[in-house]
Amino acid sequence: MVPEKFIDRLEDVVGSDDLIYNSRVTEVYSTDASPYSGRAVAVVRPENPEEVSEILKLANHHSVPVVPRGAGSGTSGGAVPRNAVVIDMKKMDGIEVYQDDMIVFSEAGAILHDIKRSLCKFDLFIPPEPGSLRIATAGGFVANNGSGKRGLKYGSVRNFVAGINAVLPDGKIVRITYRTHRSPGINHQVFVGSEGALGVITGIYLRAIPIPEEKKTYLIPLKNTTEIEKSLKRILKVLPDAVEYIDSKSSSALGYGEEEFIAVEVFGDDRYAERVIDSLGGISIESQEEKRFWERRETLGAEIAKKGSRVYAGEDFAVPFSRLSDFIEKIKDVERETGSEIFVYGHLDTCNLHPAIVSESFEDSMRAAGRLADTALKMGATVGEHGVALRWEFLKGLDVYRRLKYCLDQKNILNPGKFGL
């Protein structure tokens, strides 16, 4: 239990309108888009870094664990609290575009799609785009070092983080404010991918680039999974902007027939890319059809869940390129053995696959997820972009992380229980 005095002091900081305590509704803040749920003892909504600082000073003083929360769209349980106070960041959602610097400053609670729309007014964009674009917050995306599509050519969001404002577990506010397209040191990068365990990100300076004038999407059918590596090698040589894999089940869910395929996005008028894609039997999709495809691809995971009242678990594995078709075949073995249905799709340019499990019960889905994880680990795979959080069996170099965590958060109040600590 948290001391009543602590709750009273929290109320002094944010006011009673932005504090929930002793109510069933805290259960909403005890889960995210993962299958996991924990327990939020209270929910608090700061409006500025100073309030975040006051909350953390109090938490540190009373040794109360806290978990920062964005949209709760993570699938690894990063925002799931274990008897902790949840700091809901969604009221801090300011966005400011520095057009001439091609930089956008976003508060942690801003929705990625709102950032995209703000940049679009100045013909700018940030290439990494997750499927949760319309849901996820900037803070959550950066804290998970997310990527989504376009990973090979542009990398993850880490490559676009120019500076960060954060509050350390003892309440110290740090402002690492670069508005440049190059920035020195690892200071701000420490928070990227830290999953809310090293500091609470309050604002991010992100690099943007000009929106290309032309953009094309091609769909390349695959006759069988074994030819995927051969085709991918040829596709990657043209350095396309995004390459996505859709297996036959997902294809059917999207309304594109029963055949598995590769979707390729190419910016600009690239004749060479077009010739290579053409030789692989690719066809282009345009205007509304293209828009529809990418929009439905965004929420493919949830579309899959509508197949009956079944339990959905969205997985995330970065696989060595050499094991790609092997891994997809193994997923089918797991599907046969466990009786769960598994849809496979993902970002082929980074070999980051998202098997989506649906089964009749929570236990069945979790059993299939466990089998997939065992298989992935044996193949040298790791988590891709959904965060480590409660799936810490994938984390290597835990000792380095443990030392870093101890330096910044000696009382282990920030998002404890994640990364196995």
Partner 1 sequence: MLGSEEYTKSREIWSLNCAKCGKCIQICPTYKVTRWEHLSPRGRLILSPYVEDDRELVKSIFSCLTCGICEQVCPSNVEITEIIEKKRGEYAKQTILPERHVRLLNNMVEKGNPYGDDIETMEIDGEVDVIYYPGCTSLAREREIFESTVKILKSMGVSFGIEFMYCCGSTSLRIGGDLSYAERNYRRLREVVERTKAKTLLVNCPGCYRTVKKDYEKFGGLGVRIMHITEFLSENAEMLRLRKDGIRVSFHDSCHLARHMGIVKEPRRVLSMVSEIVEPEQHGMESFCCGGGGGVRVSYRELTREVRKVRIEQFRRTNADVVVTSCPYCYRNLKNGADGLIIKDLTSFIAERLEE
Rounded Cα–Cα distance for residues 188 and 207 (Å): 14
Distance CA(81)–CA(417), nearest Å, equals 9
**Footprint of partner 1 on residues 248-307 (CB under 8 A)?**
299-306
Q: Considering only residues 37, 279, 322, 410, which one is a binding residue for partner 1 as defined by CB under 8 A?
A: 37
Asked if 399 and 405 count as a contact pair (C-beta separation under 8 A), the reply is no
Cα angle 149, 152, 158; round to 5: 75
Nearer to partner 1, 3 or 420 (CB): 420
Q: How far is the CB of 372 from partner 1 (least distance, A)?
A: 10
Quick check: 20 binds partner 1 (CB under 8 A)? yes
Q: Max alpha carbon distance in the chain (Å)?
A: 70
Question: Nearest CA to 312 among 297, 321, 302, 325?
Answer: 302
- Closer residue to partner 1 in complex, CB, 308/397: 308
Which of 80, 168, 200, 235 binds partner 1 (CB under 8 A)? It is 80
DSSP bridge pairs for 124? 210
When asked if residue 77 is in the footprint of partner 1 (CB under 8 A), the reply is yes
Q: Using CB under 8 A, count the residues that bind partner 1.
A: 55
CB of 82 to partner 1, least distance (A): 7
Q: Which of 105, 256, 312, 317 binds partner 1 (CB under 8 A)?
A: 312
88 near partner 1, judged by CB under 8 A? yes
Judged by CB under 8 A, the residue of 19, 236, 366, 421 near partner 1 is 366
Question: 261: which strand partners?
Answer: 221, 246
Q: Return the closest-CA partner of residue 188 out of 337, 199, 249.
A: 199
296 by DSSP, 3-state: which? helix
Tell me whether strands 209-210 and 124-125 are parallel, antiparallel or unpaired: antiparallel
* Residue 36 found at the interface with partner 1 (CB under 8 A): yes
Calpha distance 264→150 (Å, rounded):
10
Give the containing element (helix H, strand E) for 67.
strand 66-69
Q: Which residues in the 38-67 window bind partner 1 by CB under 8 A? A: 38, 45
Nearer to partner 1 among residue 282 and residue 314 (C-beta): 314
Between 23 and 180, name the residue whose CB sits nearer to partner 1.
23
Interactions with partner 1, residue window 380-419 (CB under 8 A): 389-391, 393, 417
Distance separating alpha carbons of residues 168 and 190, to the nearest angstrom: 12
Helices (H), 121-155: 138-143, 151-154
Which residue's CB is nearer to partner 1, number 110 or number 157? 110
Choose, by CB under 8 A, the member of 215, 370, 380, 410 that binds partner 1: 370
- Asked if 33 is part of the footprint of partner 1 (rule: CB under 8 A), the reply reads yes
The secondary element (H helix, E strand) that includes residue 376 is: helix 362-378
- Which residues in this chain contact partner 1 in the complex, by CB under 8 A? 20, 23-25, 27-29, 31-33, 35-38, 45, 71-73, 77, 80, 82, 88, 90-91, 111, 113, 132, 134-135, 299-306, 308-312, 314, 362-363, 366-367, 369-370, 373, 389-391, 393, 417
